[in-house]
């Protein structure tokens, strides 16, 4: 009799029987196959022929028929109900603030071998896992989850899901200080969203992420064109929260383009639209980003005080719910404020520990810290150290695709060297 192994049901049953007998994957594999092969079979990602199934049945002390029997409709329904119940439990944990436990529950769900009847539940679990990882600042882990989601058939078959995943990947790469990669992911999201209505949530979110990526990578012509199209539809966006985030993105673009009054106007509109109770961490990050924009681009005497007020708001929120990455960004913003107030020692006290940290991965954020440290050393009267930091900053920013900032670092170094050169040299 031919015994067909139906995946993923076969893999689930194999794993269940192995664990019931207290066997490791290596113990089940022995010399015939690898433990990684057992893992792939259990996850439903590799088929298993009848000969190997018979060998596993013998080691697990069950009949081949019991190991390879196909699941019926009742088993499928029971399986789906179990997965749905576990997803609801994980969501309750997230809602109650137990994020670490929620991550573990969601990770188990996202890696469950599932069939067509349960793939939507597994997709939701993986998506929710990526959101919680972003909240916790675990962006490298989130990137892995999103990359896997991008390859799932359900994502590829749905324009909305494809746009959501590509947009999240763009935001992930931007927040990890990789603007060049963020732009590429954002462009994929915008392409996938082309068939959606102009003011649809997924389409607007994709355009917003691409706008922010263009700004951080220095592609200001592209940013200006995209901002003009968003200005036309921003008031039609149904979600108040997303509308406020778009207004904040428009503010950023206006500041980058030197249109300071427009930047201030969009900034004020965004803060009246955004609600801290809807997403406190997003609201705090907008306050922080707005403070940095004011310091970077607003030459008015009122800019430092306005930035200080925004930083104070951001600190109140981030000290309560901010991730380590959020608190690092806050320290950088406060160091920049110290430089605006011509307090280089205070700025260096905030920046040097950040520069000395061993980053888990290179990023443009590291380059920004180095650039601010260079300015602080220059202000403190230490030209050699300032030159060293300027060069490090420019190289780091260039490697990460943050070309506007890189050019800024090289320009400031050149100006410094020219100012220090004796007349006629």
pLDDT digits (tens, 9 = 90+) for 334-367: 999 999 999 999 999 999 999 888 666 778 889 9
* Alpha helices (H) along 23-178: 25-29, 35-42, 50-60, 64-68, 73-95, 99-110, 119-135, 139-151, 153-157, 159-175
Q: Provide the percentage of residues in the chain whose pLDDT is more than 70.
A: 96
Residue 11 has a pLDDT of 81
Average pLDDT, the chain: 90
CB of 170 closer than 8 Å to CB of 209: yes
CA atoms within 13 Å, Cβ hemisphere of 236: 11
pLDDT digits (tens, 9 = 90+) for 199-255: 999 999 999 999 999 999 999 999 999 999 999 999 999 999 999 999 999 999 999
Distance CA 173, CA 187 (A): 13
Sign for the CA dihedral angle at 371, 372, 377, 383 comes to positive
Distance CA 179, CA 172 (A): 10
* Alpha helices (H) along 234-323: 240-256, 260-273, 280-297, 303-321
pLDDT digits (tens, 9 = 90+) for 36-72: 888 888 877 788 888 888 888 889 888 887 787 766 6
Alpha-carbon torsion angle 57, 63, 64, 70, nearest 10: -110
CB of 168 closer than 8 Å to CB of 188: no
Distance CA 185, CA 170 (A): 5
- Residue 98 burial (CB count, 10 A): 14
Question: Closest Cα to residue 177, out of 408, 359, 335?
Answer: 359
Instruction: Judge whether residue 3 has pLDDT over 70.
Output: no
Q: Give, in degrees to the nearest 5, the angle at Cα 128 between 280 and 94.
A: 55
Distance CA 46, CA 38 (A): 9
Provide the whole-model pTM.
0.79
């Amino acid at each position: 009799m031919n015994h067909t192994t139906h995946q993923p049901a076969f893999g689930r049953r194999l794993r269940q029987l192995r664990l019931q007998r207290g066997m490791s994957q290596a113990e089940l594999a022995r010399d015939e196959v690898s433990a990684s092969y057992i893992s792939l079979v259990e996850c439903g990602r590799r088929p298993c022929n009848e000969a190997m199934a018979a060998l596993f049945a013998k080691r697990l002390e069950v009949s081949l028929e019991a190991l390879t029997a196909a699941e019926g409709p009742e088993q499928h329904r029971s399986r789906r109900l179990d997965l749905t119940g576990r997803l609801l439990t994980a969501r309750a944990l997230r809602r109650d603030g137990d994020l670490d436990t929620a991550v573990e529950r969601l990770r188990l769900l996202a890696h469950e071998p599932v069939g067509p009847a349960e793939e939507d539940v597994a997709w939701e679990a993986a998506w929710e896992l990526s959101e919680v990882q972003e909240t916790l600042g675990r962006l490298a882990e989130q990137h892995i989850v999103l990359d896997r989601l991008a390859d799932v058939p359900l994502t590829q078959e749905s324009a909305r899901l494809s746009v959501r995943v590509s947009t999240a990947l763009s935001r992930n790469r931007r927040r990890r200080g990789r603007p060049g990669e963020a732009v590429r992911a954002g462009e994929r999201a915008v392409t996938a969203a082309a068939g959606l209505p102009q003011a649809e949530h997924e389409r607007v979110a994709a355009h917003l992420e691409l706008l922010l990526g263009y700004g951080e990578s220095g592609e200001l012509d592209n940013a200006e064109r995209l901002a003009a199209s968003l200005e036309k539809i921003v008031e039609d966006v149904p979600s108040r929260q997303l509308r406020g985030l778009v207004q904040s993105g428009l503010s950023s673009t206006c500041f980058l383009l030197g249109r300071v009054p427009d930047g201030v106007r969009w900034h004020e509109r965004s803060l009246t639209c955004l609600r801290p109770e809807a997403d406190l961490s997003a609201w705090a990050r907008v306050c922080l980003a707005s403070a940095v924009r004011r310091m970077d681009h607003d030459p008015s005497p009122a800019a430092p005080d306005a930035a200080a007020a925004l930083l104070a708001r951001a600190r109140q929120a981030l000290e309560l719910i901010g991730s380590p990455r959020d608190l690092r960004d806050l320290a950088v913003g406060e160091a920049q404020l110290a430089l605006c107030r011509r307090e280089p020692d205070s700025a260096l006290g905030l920046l040097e520990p950040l520069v000395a940290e061993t980053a888990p991965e290179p990023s443009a954020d590291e380059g920004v810290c180095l650039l601010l440290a260079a300015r602080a050393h220059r202000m403190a009267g230490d030209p050699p150290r300032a030159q060293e930091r300027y060069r490090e900053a420019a190289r780091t920013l260039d490697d990460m695709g943050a070309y506007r900032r890189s050019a800024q670092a090289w320009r400031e170094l050149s100006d410094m060297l020219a100012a220090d050169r004796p007349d006629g040299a």
